[in-house]
Amino acid sequence: METAASARVDLPVQPVHVAIIMDGNGRWAKARGLPRTAGHKRGAEAVRRTVECAREMGISYLTLYAFSSENWKRPEGEVSDLMGLLRLYLRNEVKTLHKNGIRLRIIGDRSRLGPDIVSLIEESEAKTAANSAMTLVLALSYGGRQEIVAAARALAADVAAGRLDVAQVDEEALSARLFTADIPDPDMIIRTSGEQRISNFLLWQCAYAELVFLDVLWPDFSRDHLIAAIRDFHGRERRFGATGG
């Protein structure tokens, strides 16, 4: 295994928070005449590689879009297979995450997940809560619009109950009611597979994120792809709307 120093190569300071839309498992499998499940399994291996590399490179937060709100519309068999892979990940990988000082956080609508999965999530989050080497955020049953609606409802309830004045409803108040309230906004969002869209991912949080689209299917995503994306990130001027182009 590479050391942290060698993994950083000659890159400048790493972005604090990298988020990835992991796309292309199905196409990877189809191109090889394999069932979609095979693509998801290889995708899980790419997750392991990416988490390891991100930690070695000194990235503080890594968010992976693992299962969207819209993914519930997929065929029942595929959803069942994905939930099975999730169970395996939570049972088998959390020990490794904990050993490497990685905190696990899950964001999304847990009400649609099976009770056993929710229990595994709670156990995993509790076990790794004190870790500080890196925070791995998995977005499960997650949708950006749904998250904003839930935050707006929470604000409305607080106003109706008299806990909050209407004049106090601002960006900070809404951000505090998002799943990511204690997580910094992403500096960069990577999407694999060549598609160039956000797909309902971190819509509020990505306001000033740099977007990097890579023409590689997720199961083939490697350390070199992550480094290339970060090089791209460092080649951009981030003005946050302060100056004109």
Domain ranges of the chain: 14-143+188-234
Q: Check residue 220 and give its pLDDT.
A: 98
Give residue 242's pLDDT: 59
pTM: 0.92
pLDDT (0 to 100) of residue 98: 97
- Which of 71, 100, 131, 200 is an active site residue? 71
Residue 243: per-residue pLDDT: 59
Q: Which of 10, 23, 92, 187 is the catalytic position?
A: 23
DSSP one-letter string for the chain? ---HHHHHTT--SPPSEEEEE---HHHHHHHTT--HHHHHHHHHHHHHHHHHHHHHHT-SEEEEEEEEGGGGGS-HHHHHHHHHHHHHHHHHTHHHHHHTTEEEEEES-GGGS-HHHHHHHHHHHHHHTT--SEEEEEEEEE-HHHHHHHHHHHHHHHHHTTSS-GGG-SHHHHHTTSTTTTSPPPSEEEE-TT-----SSSTTTTTTPEEEE-SS-GGG--HHHHHHHHHHHHTS---TTSS--
The CATH number for 14-143+188-234, chosen from 2.160.10.10, 3.40.50.720, 3.20.20.70, 3.40.1180.10, is: 3.40.1180.10
Q: Is 109 among the residues known to form the active site?
A: no
| pLDDT for the residue numbered 244 | 58
What's the confidence (pLDDT) of residue 7? 47
Query: Mean pLDDT, 10 residues at a time, over the chain (245 residues)?
Result: 47 87 97 96 96 95 97 95 95 95 98 96 98 98 98 98 97 98 97 97 97 97 95 81 58
Position 236 scores a pLDDT of 85
Residues placed in the known binding site for Mg(2+)? 23, 210
pLDDT of res. 237: 75
Specify the pairing of strand 210-213 against strand 134-142: unpaired
- Contact present, 65 and 201 (Cβ < 8 Å): yes
10 CB-contact burial (10 Å; exposed 0-12 / middle 13-18 / buried 19+): exposed
User: So what's the pLDDT on residue 201?
Assistant: 98
Q: Output the known binding site.
A: 23-28, 36, 40, 68-70, 72, 74, 191, 197-199, 210
The confidence score (pLDDT) of residue 1 equals 39
Q: What are the two backbone dihedrals, phi and then psi, of residue 52, each rounded to the nearest 5 degrees?
A: -60, -45
Active-site residue 187, yes or no?
no
The whole-angstrom separation of Cα 48 and Cα 33 is 24
